[in-house]
Structure formats: C-alpha cells, structure tokens
C-alpha cells in the first residue's frame, strides 16, 4: 500500500506542479463516524496535510494520521455554539492555502451534503486557490444502513428524498417545503432537524402523509455509541424526546425492515464503551478488533513509545547484529525499533547474515515476518521465560551469542536465566515507554466526561500511567488485563482484575472481553465478573 501511495504522490506532482508550490485545499468528507468508512484518498490527504481544520462531527481519531508538526485547528459547530464563524473558517482556509500549504478541511459525512462545503469551495475559487473535493460516506445513508434500514428497496420504493430540518416550519417558505416533501413518494431522510421534529411531523401529516408511516431516529450512527428508536410519523417526536443531536430521522415503509436487517446492534460488544490505554502506535489493532464487534472503543493512550535512550549504543549494536547467533524479540515494539534502524544502516536484508530469530507471541512473530524474515523459534506459550525451553529444544544455549533488544527497564529474569545457562547475552535498550502528555484523540477528555464500561491494560506501564493521571473512575468500571504480569501490577496499584486474557496477546484479550460480556443461553443476564483461571507464568507484555 505504501508503494501505491508513493506512485500516487509522484503522479499528483506530475499532474499538479503548481499545486505543490502554491498550496492546495482538500475538502474531505470524514464519513458518519466509523473510522473505517474514511476513504483511502481522505486518509492520504490527512497524512500529507500541513494544516487540518476539522469539525465536531469528524472522528478525532483521524487526527492520528497527521504528520508531525501539522497544525490542527478545531472549527466545530454545535447548535448555538460556533468555535469559528463561517467567514473566519473561509479566511483561514484561503490564508493557509495561499501561503503554499497543503490544507485539509475535514467535515463530517460528505462535504457537499448540508456541510457548507459548497460555500467553502466557492470562497476558495473566488480567492484563486486550488482545491479538490474528496467525497465522504454521508450519514443520510449510513445511519439508516447501520440501523438496519435500506433507504431504497424494490418492494417498498425507488425514490429517496434527503432534506435538512434546520428551517423553522413556522416560516411560510419552510412550511411549503415540508408540504412538498410530504407529498413526494418514497423514503425521506432528515438531517439537522431534531429540535424541529415535532413541528415537522405535524406539517407532514397536515400535507396528507399517513400518521402510521414507520419512522426512526438514529444517533451517533456507525459507532458503538449508536442509539436507535422507532415509531410512526405520529409519535416519533415523543418516542425520541430524550434524543440529542447528532441524529438522523428516517420516514418510510423501509423502516419496517429494521427488525430483520438490524445487523450492527446485534454484534456481541455493541454499546460497550471501552477505553484502550495502549500507546497510539499500538492501539489501532486492538481498537479495530473491538469496533468490529460493535464496541464503542476509543483510544486513551497513557504511554508513548520513544527511541532508544542511548541512540549511539543501539545503532552500533544493530550495525553488528550479523555477528550474533540469535536475536530474541519479546515484543512488536522491539521488532519495529530494530528493523527501523537496521534499514537505515543497510539496504539489503541479507546484511543480517546467518542470525537466527526467536519471537515471543504471534503478534511479534507476524511483525518479524512482515520484514520478510523467518521466525526460527516461537514458544507455544506467549511468555518470555518460555523462550528458554524453546531454545533448549533447538540447541544448547551455552556460549551462544544472543542479542536481546527490548524496552528500557525490562524485567531481568530472562537475561539472568540465559546467563545462568551459559549464554553470552547483550541486553540493549531498543526503546522506552514514557507517559503520554498529549491528548490528540480526545480520549482522556472523553473518559473524564463520559466514563467507560471497561478499560484495557496491555502492559504494566499502561496501568501505572493510567493511575498517575488520577482520573475520576465511574461506578462499575471494569478492568481487563492482557496477562499475569500486568495483572500483578494492577493489583499492586489497587485496580481490580475483572478480565484476564488466557492467551497473552491482543486477540486473546478481545476473546476474553467477548466471553466476559457474553449472555447465558437464556439471555437473562450478563455473566458475573469472574477472572478466568490462569497460571502464574510471567508474560512478555512489552
């Protein structure tokens, strides 16, 4: 994929040389909320942007795609609360583009569907600025789809009307508009009209729309926070009286298909709010797996991965890595740190020579293979000390020269045991974990304001730094651990261990969470908080 993007970059430079030198503004649709619904081109624009001007409805996780040093400017709008006026936003886009920068205007849904993208494009065009529009998945369709409602269906309708309910139905022009919409056949989808819903549904009925027409409201569509209520044209306003924006309203017979087609809300972790404390570099995989199961998973990094504290020592060690007989990797972080430096020094993978490689855990092994190296030894149990048994089955470790790149301050037991068996071990700090001080994704703020049902810990350092944040903990908050080493730290910190993964990797943690929240066959209640039985073997958890 990276190579594909490189070719696209070269193609764009050849097609748009003036844009590269004079700046360009991309009006990018962020989609309805699910991060996976951002387009590939939208992500590509975010990754190269010098300035990102983002809206309230664009998922904050997209800001993680920004390159270091990019300016991040919030320009969100809620009803009656505007951080910047539209004129100020236009001026900002024009000014930054004219200064030669690559600007992304990140807008929820699609920029041209009730998103004022057309106004911003006109302002850019009148100012002589280069711009492009990157369409996004609109909530007008996605909200219905995630609620189990197809907006068109051959057995129901072949017409779709999308409208904004922002206008007051009491105004004469608006009243006529709503009457015309009511008389139009097919499905009707309303954006931005929750406060006017009761008046609008009354106008629809006055214009002859059947009071028994099925209707639905969908809030925070396509995310684990999604809420849906259904009713009829007559009572949907009262049914959704407690609803707050952002919400989409759907009117039409297709709403009746929801009981059969509501796939998203049937996922096993739907509605569970889960905070993930892993570092930003690592959180993505765990969050993706949780979201795929319907969870409202959000990144709340408490640690950050930094390069080796003694950069010169690590570079020299990697430069002579071909002189070792074995390299032992106990975490994906160590793999990333090692090969990043290796390929800065060498151009050819064969420069590693005849070194053999051992890995703890399937994730670590998979990351090694991504660099096109084979894993010679991988213990069946995903714990660091098990590497000793696996090595001894393969060969005698006496007098073996072993390189062990890992985190600064890692536990000494592995080095001590290898040395006791006669191995010559170079234990080198490849990286270090430090407390995260920047809340780019807004996860810490969200946890403070909304709390969570569950918080996950994938290492001792994530637990330690979470406690150091001294955040208020909501009643009933559960804690999940990736393995016994992390669990021990959690207990020492006064945190309960409600879930512990039997297999000490991300997939094992997700499986344990699903099991914890699984309902009995009769569907009567969730399982009680029971920590799974587990041995006392330490895990790598690097």
Least confident interval from 34-43, 281-290, 339-348, 515-524: 515-524
For residue 439, what pLDDT is reported? 80
Please tell me whether residue 416 adopts helix, strand or coil conformation.
helix
Catalytic residue among 190, 192, 300, 490: 192
Residues 171 and 233 grouped into a single domain: yes
**What CATH number corresponds to the domain at position 374?**
3.40.50.10090
Q: What is the pTM of this model?
A: 0.76
Residues 224 and 337 grouped into a single domain: no
116: which residues sit within 8 A by CB, 6+ positions away? 86, 107
For residue 236, what pLDDT is reported? 97
Helical packing angle, 172-183 and 197-206, nearest 10°: 60
Least confident interval from 91-100, 284-293, 531-540: 531-540
Active site residue 498: no
Catalytic residue among 55, 110, 498, 539: 55
Residues 312 and 394 grouped into a single domain: yes
For residue 78, what pLDDT is reported? 59
Active site residue 55: yes
The DSSP secondary structure of 41-65, one letter per residue, reads HHHHHHHH-SEEEE-TTS-GGGGGG
pLDDT in tens, 386-407: 888 888 888 888 999 999 999 8
For residue 21, what pLDDT is reported? 54
With left for phi above 0 and alpha for psi between -120 and 50, is residue 425 left, alpha or beta?
beta
For residue 10, what pLDDT is reported? 44
Residue 83: CB atoms within 10 A of its CB come to 14
For residue 80, what pLDDT is reported? 52
- What is the count of structural domains for the chain? 4
Question: Which residues are bridge partners to 133 per DSSP?
Answer: 27
Highest average pLDDT, of 142-146, 156-160, 328-332, comes from: 142-146
Q: What percent of the chain clears pLDDT 90, i.e. is strictly above it?
A: 66
Are the C-beta atoms of residues 433 and 410 closer than 8 Å to each other?
A: no
Residue 15 lies in a domain: no
DSSP state at residue 513: H
Comparing 282 with 270, the larger pLDDT belongs to: 270
By residue range, what is the domain housing residue 72?
21-137
For residue 124, what pLDDT is reported? 97
Residues 77 and 163 grouped into a single domain: no
Residue 248: CB atoms within 10 A of its CB come to 30
Rounded distance between C-alpha atoms, residue 148 and residue 142, angstroms: 10
For residue 520, what pLDDT is reported? 53
Residue 526 lies in a domain: no
422: which residues sit within 8 A by CB, 6+ positions away? 397, 398, 399, 400
Residue 3 lies in a domain: no
Residues 502 and 402 grouped into a single domain: no
For residue 526, what pLDDT is reported? 43
Catalytic residue among 20, 41, 77, 427: 77
Active site residue 192: yes
**What CATH number corresponds to the domain at position 28?**
3.40.1010.10
For residue 23, what pLDDT is reported? 96
For residue 108, what pLDDT is reported? 93
**What CATH number corresponds to the domain at position 157?**
3.30.950.10
Residues 367 and 463 grouped into a single domain: no
For residue 248, what pLDDT is reported? 96
pLDDT in tens, 414-432: 899 899 989 999 999 999 8
Residues 297 and 443 grouped into a single domain: yes
């Amino acid at each position: 994929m990276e190579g594909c993007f490189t070719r696209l970059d070269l193609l764009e430079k050849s097609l748009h040389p003036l844009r590269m030198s004079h700046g360009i503004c991309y009006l990018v649709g962020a989609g309805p909320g699910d991060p996976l619904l951002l387009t590939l081109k939208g992500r590509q624009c975010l990754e190269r942007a010098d300035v990102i001007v983002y809206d309230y409805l664009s998922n904050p996780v997209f800001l993680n795609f920004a390159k270091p040093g990019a300016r991040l400017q919030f320009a969100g709008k809620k009803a009656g609360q505007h951080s910047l006026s539209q004129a100020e936003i236009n001026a900002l886009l024009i000014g930054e583009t004219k200064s030669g920068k690559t600007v992304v205007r990140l807008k929820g849904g699609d920029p041209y569907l009730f998103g004022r993208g057309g106004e911003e494009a006109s302002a850019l065009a009148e100012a002589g600025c280069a711009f492009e529009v990157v369409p996004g998945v609109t909530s007008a369709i996605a909200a219905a789809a995630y609620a189990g409602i197809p907006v068109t269906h051959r057995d129901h309708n072949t017409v779709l009307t999308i409208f904004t309910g922002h206008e007051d139905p009491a105004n004469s022009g608006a009243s006529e508009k709503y009457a015309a919409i009511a008389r139009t056949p097919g499905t009707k989808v309303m954006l931005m009209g929750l406060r006017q819903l009761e008046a609008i549904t009354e106008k629809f009925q006055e214009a002859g729309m059947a009071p028994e027409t099925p209707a639905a409201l969908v809030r925070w569509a396509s995310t684990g926070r999604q809420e849906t209520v259904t009713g009829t044209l007559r009572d949907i306003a009262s049914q959704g009286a407690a609803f707050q924006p952002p919400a989409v309203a759907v009117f039409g017979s297709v709403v009746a298909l929801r009981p059969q087609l509501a796939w998203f809300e049937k996922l096993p972790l739907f509605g569970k709010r889960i905070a993930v404390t892993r570092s930003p570099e690592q959180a993505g995989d765990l969050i993706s797996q949780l979201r795929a199961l319907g969870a409202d998973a959000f990144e709340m990094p408490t640690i950050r991965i930094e390069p080796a504290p003694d950069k010169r020592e690590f570079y020299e060690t990697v430069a002579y890595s071909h002189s070792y007989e074995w390299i032992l990797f106990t975490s994906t972080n160590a793999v990333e740190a090692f090969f990043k430096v290796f390929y800065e020094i060498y151009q050819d993978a064969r420069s590693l020579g005849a070194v053999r490689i051992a890995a703890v855990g399937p994730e670590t092994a998979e990351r090694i293979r991504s660099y096109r190296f084979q894993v010679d030894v991988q213990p069946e149990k995903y714990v660091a000390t098990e590497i000793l048994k696996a090595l001894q089955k393969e060969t005698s470790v006496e007098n073996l020269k072993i390189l062990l790149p890992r985190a600064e301050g890692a536990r000494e037991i592995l080095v001590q045991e290898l040395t006791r068996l006669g191995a010559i071990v170079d234990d080198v700090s490849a990286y270090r974990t430090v407390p995260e001080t920047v809340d780019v994704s807004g996860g810490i703020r969200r946890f403070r304001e909304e709390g969570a049902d569950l918080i996950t810990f994938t290492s001792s350092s994530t637990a330690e730094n979470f406690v150091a944040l001294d955040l208020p903990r909501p009643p009933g908050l559960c804690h999940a651990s990736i393995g016994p080493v992390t669990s021990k730290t959690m207990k020492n910190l006064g945190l309960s261990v409600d879930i512990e993964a039997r297999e000490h990797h991300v997939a094992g943690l997700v499986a344990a969470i699903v099991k914890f929240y699984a309902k009995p066959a009769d569907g009567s209640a969730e399982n009680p908080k029971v920590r799974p039985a587990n041995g006392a073997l330490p895990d790598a958890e690097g």
